[in-house]
Amino acid sequence: MKNVVINETGKASEFKPDVIFEKYLKLAEKDVRDEFSQKRNLALSNCPACRSKKKRIVFSHFGFEYAECLACDSVYMNPRPLDAKIKKHYLESASASFWRNTLSKKTEGKRKEKIYEKRFQWFSDIAQNHLPCATTIADFNSKDPEYTKEFLQNGYFKRKIVINPYFNILALDKFNVDASSYPVIEELADSLEDRGMVDVACAFEAIDCFADVELLLKTINALLCKGGLCFVTTISISGFDLQVLWGNSTSIFPPDRINVFSRKGLELLFKRHGFDIIEYSTPGFLDLDIVKNALKKDSSIELPRFVRTILKNGDDQVYQDFQEFLQLSKLSSFVRIVLKKK
Amino acid sequence: MRENKKILKAGIIGYGYMGKIRKKIIESSAVLKLEGICDINRELITVDQSVKCKIYDSYKKLIASDIDIVFVCTPNSFSPQIVVDSLRAGKHVFCEKPPGRTLADVKLIIEQEKKRPELKLMFGFNHRYHPGILEARTIVDSKRFGKILFLKGTYGKSGGRNYLQSWRNQKEVAGGGILLDQGIHMLDLFRYFCGNFSEVKCFLSKMFWDTDVEDNAFIFLRNRFGQVATLHSSATLWKHCFRIEIFLEDAYLIVSGLLSKTGSYGRETLTIGRRQFEDETFALGNPREEVVYFDQDLSWEAEVTKFIDYITNDNKVDNSSSYDALKVMEIIERAYKNNSVKGCPNLAGKGDRFHEKRSN
Ligand SMILES: [Zn+2]
């Protein structure tokens, strides 16, 4: 398994400008409390990574409890909404619309440069190395039409499939992309027709907000050819800013993050679904900046003295070196993984 | 239906450092069965409790036995004749590098190989199978960063207290010094990336160790496409180092460190840097880099799997072949001939104080 370290720099506010993100969080909280408050719409779950029943409640967000698995240390919302409700949230809620039309728009340039283009480079480089004849790529659970537009216009793969989009696919019209010329599959099912027909699957931030992770991974596995690759990005509870901020993190809230897997949990999850992990990297460059911002907003947050000292006295070089250490040790909270179907 | 794989019976000749590695690889293979080991120093084998196969004092007896493959892991002065005899006896042969002491040795081997085209002969240029090199090669082959402009390689170690006693540093047995022993891997990689080189320039030095072979070699190569490769091969690098830099039109790749048993060459990494002209970035000649860390060395298994593949599918050996051995030995022979050491003061002898008990 390889680990990739990237000497990138940047600030969290480039992707989530403070004022706009605050507004998004407020809207999301209101939506989530309205949509998911009825108990009958929630289901109890064992650990979605390792299936263990052993857990303890560790914190709550927007009034919903999160449990920590005592077997693999993953953190997950429990009880949790069904996926149909989650999808409805992304399609119809005011907060999701705000994300697409305001937050994503405002940060469009940076997202394109530092997220989307890097993703495309990543999966086309690795596909070239491992599957030089690959032609078909499927993207799962995209929440962002802006990203999907870039995905469809990327020239590396001949055939592109959009699966289970979390936005109205007609939204692509405004980017002059004719969605009807691409195959779009609206629902997940491991009995889809394209079984074994896909060379490469992308699940960017998809396992974070999908309640039935089993179904998601079964579908991906069924669609991929033998030796096919799956590219996953997610955030991990084993990472620095989440470990340090824990319940104070503004990255964990439903339904964007109902699963926050540990490194061990991720490894167990993918192995259980018939994948070899060929890359597990944490090329995040924002952990320290995220903690710094959290402290700025709320100085009463309890932090280890050492972390406070770094934040107070560290210069840019210290920040950069610290992030490099996190990446080397696979301890940044941003995770990227390449899976190969056995 | 399960494929019924034919088991290939193997023997090892020479039970030193490499012989032991080969034993492990053979025993972990589902296709190979270790039938016998031979070493003129029988005790080397008998003290090893893990050896369960037959022990031979004479390699001729081993190659006369009912085996399919011979792994030749002997010092350079013995390897060529053993390879020739094994081929003559109708065995497939895997021979460690270097393929002998001289170019003539390789030619002798190839002469015999031609007489038995049904047999497979492969050489142990295992660096080609290291994960960093494999990934670099795939990137180069994809042509996404353009053509290779030049290569820079450094491969070196620090010698050691037994440096002068080791057969590897005695001309009579080894045929050459650090260049032939270790530098050959880097020269082989240069060929692996850029093909054959027509021009060879070289400085050899005895800077520290007082032996009859070089402890440092500086080589300059150029091929017909104008691609240049430079190598520093050294037995006086006090920090062990393996590093190959591949500069392409649009990027550079650096493989540094080697996954090995001791880890003394550092963690194996592949650095990928994309060219950014100074006016394209604030980084000013210090572009964004990705560093890939590898944690699994499957090079030994991979090369033997390839060898088995050649045998079972009757494919032409096209990787680490006798041609590769010939061409790399041509470079080394030309380097030794080109050596411009004449008139240069010999600095050697500084290492003598570490060898008070030197026997010869
Ligand atoms: Zn668990």
C-alpha B256/C-alpha B264 separation (Å) is: 12
C-alpha A44/C-alpha A33 separation (Å) is: 18
User: For residue B21, which phi and psi values (nearest 5 degrees)?
Assistant: -60, -45
Question: Residue A125 and residue B288: Cβ atoms within 8 Å?
Answer: no
Q: Which amino acid is at B224?
A: R
Which residues in chain B have their CB less than 8 angstroms from residue A8's CB?
288
pLDDT at B343: 41
Residue A246 has pLDDT above 90, yes or no: yes
Whole-number Å distance, alpha carbon A268 to ligand 1 midpoint, is 8
pLDDT at B342: 47
Which residue has tokens 């104008």? B226
Give A200-233 pLDDT, tens digit per residue. Answer: 999 999 999 999 999 999 999 999 999 999 999 9
> How far off is chain A from B270, nearest CA to CA, in Å?
9
Which residues in chain A have their CB less than 8 angstroms from residue B142's CB?
128-129, 132
C-alpha A80/C-alpha A42 separation (Å) is: 5
Long-range contacts (CB closer than 8 Å, 24 or more residues apart) made by B138-142:
B138/A128, B138/A129, B139/A125, B139/A128, B139/A129, B139/B253, B139/B272, B140/B193, B140/B246, B140/B248, B140/B253, B142/A128, B142/A129, B142/A132
pLDDT at B275: 87
Locate CATH 3.40.50.720 in chain B.
Answer: 8-119
Q: Which structure tokens are listed for B234?
A: 């050294």
User: Which SS3 state, helix, strand or coil, does residue B136 take?
Assistant: helix
Residue B355 has pLDDT above 60, yes or no: no
Q: What is the CB neighbour count within 10 angstroms for residue B166?
A: 15
> How far off is chain A from B176, nearest CA to CA, in Å?
37
Q: Which amino acid is at B52?
A: K
Domains of chain A: 12-341 (3.40.50.150)
Q: Which of B134, B143, B145, B292 to probe the A interface (max A CBs under 10 A)?
A: B292
pLDDT at B176: 85
C-alpha A217/C-alpha A269 separation (Å) is: 9
Over pLDDT 70: what percentage of chain B? 91
pTM given for the model: 0.87
C-alpha A123/C-alpha B161 separation (Å) is: 49
Answer for the pair B327, B197: CB distance below 8 angstroms, yes or no.
Answer: no
Q: Which structure tokens are listed for A43?
A: 């289901």
Give A267-279 pLDDT, tens digit per residue. Answer: 999 999 999 999 9
> How far off is chain B from A271, nearest CA to CA, in Å?
18
C-alpha B169/C-alpha B176 separation (Å) is: 7
For range A163-173, the mean pLDDT: 89
Whole-number Å distance, alpha carbon A212 to ligand 1 midpoint, is 15
pLDDT at B304: 93
- Domain at B8-119: CATH code: 3.40.50.720
Question: Residue A328 and residue B144: Cβ atoms within 8 Å?
Answer: no
Residue B283 has pLDDT above 90, yes or no: no
Which residue has tokens 């030309």? B334
Q: How does residue B68 score in pLDDT terms, banded at 50, 70 and 90?
A: very high
Tell how far CA B29 is from the center of its chain.
22
pLDDT at B52: 94
C-alpha B291/C-alpha B114 separation (Å) is: 44
pLDDT at B353: 57
Locate CATH 3.30.360.10 in chain B.
Answer: 128-297+328-354
- For every residue of B63-112, DSSP letters joined together read HHSS-SEEEE-S-TTTHHHHHHHHHHTT-EEEEESS--SSHHHHHHHHHH
Q: What is the CB neighbour count within 10 angstroms for residue A251?
A: 19
Give B32-67 pLDDT, tens digit per residue. Answer: 999 999 999 999 999 999 999 999 999 999 999 999
- Comparing A107-121, A294-308, B123-137, the range with the smallest average pLDDT is A107-121
Q: Which of B138, B142, B292 sits opposite A2 (nearest CB)?
A: B292
pLDDT at B166: 83
Question: Residue B142 and residue A128: Cβ atoms within 8 Å?
Answer: yes
CATH architecture of B128-297+328-354: 2-Layer Sandwich (3.30)
